[in-house]
Amino acid sequence: MASPARLARLTPKSVDFDKWYIELVRQAELADYAPVKGCMVIRPYGYALWEHIQAALDGMIKATGHENMYFPLLIPESYLAKEAEHVEGFAPEVAWVTQGGSKDLEERLAIRPTSETIICSMYADWIHSYRDLPVLINQWVNVYRWEKRTRLFLRTSEFLWQEGHTFHETEKEATEEVERMLDCYTTLARDWLALPVVPGTKTRSETFAGAVYTRSIEAMMSDGWALQAGTSHNLGQHFTRAYNITFRNRENAEEHPFQTSWGVSTRIIGAVIMAHGDDNGLILPPKVAPVQVAVVPIPAGGDEEMNSRIEEIAKRFEEASGPTCRIRVDRRDGIRPGEKFAHWELRGVPLRITLGKRDVEAGVVTITRRVDGTTETMGIDACIAALPELLEDAHTRLQARALALLEARSCDVTTLDELSEAFVKEPVFANAPFCNRPACEDRIKEQVHAVTVRVLRDDRKGDGAPCIACQAPSDHIALIARAY
């Protein structure tokens, strides 16, 4: 029997988290480096994962009244330059097209780093009256931001995302829209990806270039670092003024509409990997896992009658597969069962069902859960009927584990010394009263290597407690962490 090379073992997370991450992304065949630095190839397994995340979010985007459309990849330099803060924020990372064939272009063209500028330029012609509002659109595209240091999924120059863009009659409507979409992202993280997140508002230094304010959700990775998993920006009238978008309001006066934008990118795949994975591989949230159930028949040597009974059961599982229960039977030849188990474990498949001789004789199958390795046996019919429930239970267990980690690795601190102490042993989510002044934010950053204020939390307020840095009464509780 041909014996394929054994899977290389992953570097344990506890030894080198970064190495573990990159090895896992490549060995599980999610993605790989491309010839151009900063670009990645998303392989079929990684792309299927993205498609499931995309389908879930696209459903929510449409259910909240938005429509998809498409704007071009190239943006004329003059379009990009109109909103000063925005262009300053993005200038260092814009990639330019300067030639068409061998001919120099009269005007440089930016490869979109984001699309506010082109969208505003077009909508300036399309919005005239309050009757044209609200505009509620979204696009699923790639964007390009020249990055110096890159990591697969987490930080790549080219990445995939959705960018939502909306225009409204009133400030109130825009504010509500910003919250509505942040709520969608929280739901995506919690209910689909089993990621508990902390929603909040960014400080000035972390606000999107050109926005009035930025809202974000922060997830904890299993090494205690934070990852920004989605952002929703209130753009006010900054861009609509700069791009001269006006409408006749209900009083027949001319006014600039209020605008929002919001996005989730392929970075969120990095969050799923780092939040849930272990030393044996990925642990995928069942609702977005490309394969939810791996069925591994174990051939009973030359016992042909037994082999055909096993195959019969395998077929019954296959027939139970559908859009909401994705089942794969592993019939690969010449690979030992142990290697098949490792294969599906590495790929994070939530449930494994083993069909062995002894089980079949007893009329049962063995179910193994990826999240905690627990197993149980069940009658064949009962198991097929219980699959949706078993998958739901796998989600609940994964989410409970992530939540327990978030709770265990969160702490409250009131002084800069306490902040330092909190990070001595391992990275944490530290919560501290904070006045939200840039000088105090700088002092926090200087206190502990690589920490930043991630967000001003929504769920907790400062209530006048002394700011961690300056002791002035503070309105906010800042979430302070190291971040990807």
Q: Of 389, 349, 343, which Cα lies nearest the Cα of 369?
A: 349
Cα 223 from chain centroid (whole Å): 17
Tokens representing residue 191 in the block: 């209910």
Q: Closer to Zn ion by CB, 348 or 462: give it.
A: 462
Decide whether 64 or 415 has the Cβ nearer to Zn ion. 415
Q: Which one of the spans 17-25, 148-156, 371-379, 470-478 is the region binding Zn ion (CB under 5 A)?
A: 470-478
Interaction with Zn ion in 220-279: which residues (CB under 5 A)? Answer: none
Per CB under 5 A, the segment of 77-85, 212-220, 301-309, 461-469 that binds Zn ion is 461-469
Size of interface with Zn ion, in residues (CB under 5 A) = 5
Least distance (Å) between residue 442 CB and Zn ion: 10
Instruction: Check if the beta carbon of residue 456 is closer than 8 Å to that of residue 203.
Output: yes
Q: Which is nearer to Zn ion, 269 or 435 (CB)?
A: 435
The nearest distance, CB 447 to Zn ion, in angstroms, is 13
Give the footprint of Zn ion on residues 27-46 (CB under 5 A): none
- Which of the stretches 210-218, 309-317, 392-400, 463-471 binds Zn ion when contact is defined by CB under 5 A? 463-471
In whole angstroms, the minimum distance from the beta carbon of 219 to Zn ion comes to 26
For residues 54-80, b (16+ Cβ closer than 10 Å) or e, as one string? bebbbebbeeeebeeeebebebbeebb
3-state secondary structure of 471: coil
Smallest CA-to-CA distance from 267 within 473, 70, 21 is with 21
CB of 434 to Zn ion, least distance (A): 6
- Choose which of 55, 362, 400, 470 interacts with Zn ion (CB under 5 A): 470
For Zn ion, the closer CB: 223 or 441: 441
Minimum CB distance to Zn ion smaller for 97 or for 472: 472
For residues 378 and 386, the answer to whether their CB atoms sit within 8 Å is yes
Query: Is residue 355 within the footprint of Zn ion (CB under 5 A)?
Result: no
Q: How far is the CB of 455 from Zn ion (least distance, A)?
A: 16
Instruction: Identify how many contiguous H helices and E strands the chain contains and give both numbers.
Output: 14, 23
Region of 53-61, 161-169, 319-327, 469-477 interacting with Zn ion (CB under 5 A): 469-477
Q: How far does Cα 136 stand from its chain's mean position?
A: 22
How near is the Cβ of 423 to Zn ion at its closest, in Å? Answer: 19
d(CA 284, CA 277): 8
**Binding window for Zn ion (CB under 5 A); candidates: 145-153, 175-183, 328-336, 466-474:** 466-474
Sorted by sequence, the CB contacts under 8 Å of residue 275 that are 6+ apart come out as 195, 219, 220, 221, 222, 227, 402
Is position 467 an interface residue for Zn ion (rule: CB under 5 A)?
A: yes
Please check whether residue 164 is in contact with residue 181, taking contact to mean a CB–CB distance below 8 angstroms.
Answer: yes
Which residues ranging from 401 to 440 are in contact with Zn ion (CB under 5 A)? 435, 440
Q: What's the token pair of residue 168?
A: 């409204």
Q: Which residues contact 361 (CB under 8 A, 6 or more apart)?
A: none
- Applying CB under 5 A, the span of 31-39, 44-52, 308-316, 460-468 interacting with Zn ion comes to 460-468
Tokens 């230094």 — which residue? Answer: 205
Nearer to Zn ion by C-beta: 388 or 438?
A: 438
Nearest alpha carbon to residue 347 among 117, 1, 88, 10: 10
Which is nearer to Zn ion, 174 or 430 (by Cβ)? 430
Q: Least distance (Å) from Zn ion to the CB of residue 468?
A: 7
The distance of closest approach from Cβ of residue 421 to Zn ion in the complex, given in angstroms and rounded to an integer, is 19
The single residue listed with the structure tokens 């030894």 is 15
How many CA atoms lie less than 13 Å away from 65 in the CB half-sphere?
A: 9
Strand intervals (E) in 207-257: 213-220, 226-236, 247-248, 254-255
Question: Which region among 135-143, 241-249, 314-322, 468-476 touches Zn ion (by CB under 5 A)?
Answer: 468-476
Q: How far is the CB of 446 from Zn ion (least distance, A)?
A: 13
Q: Which two tokens stand for residue 423?
A: 């990070």
* Of 326, 294, 322, 316, nearest in space to 382 by CA: 316
Q: Which is nearer to Zn ion, 340 or 476 (CB)?
A: 476
Q: Least distance in Å: CB of 213 to Zn ion? A: 19
Name which of 68 and 205 has its Cβ closer to Zn ion. 205
Closest distance to Zn ion from the beta carbon of 437 (Å): 5
Q: Which of 50, 18, 46, 16 is nearest to 32 (CA)?
A: 46
Q: Applying CB under 5 A, which of residues 25, 269, 469, 480 lies at the interface with Zn ion?
A: 469
Positions touching Zn ion (CB under 5 A) are: 435, 440, 467, 469-470
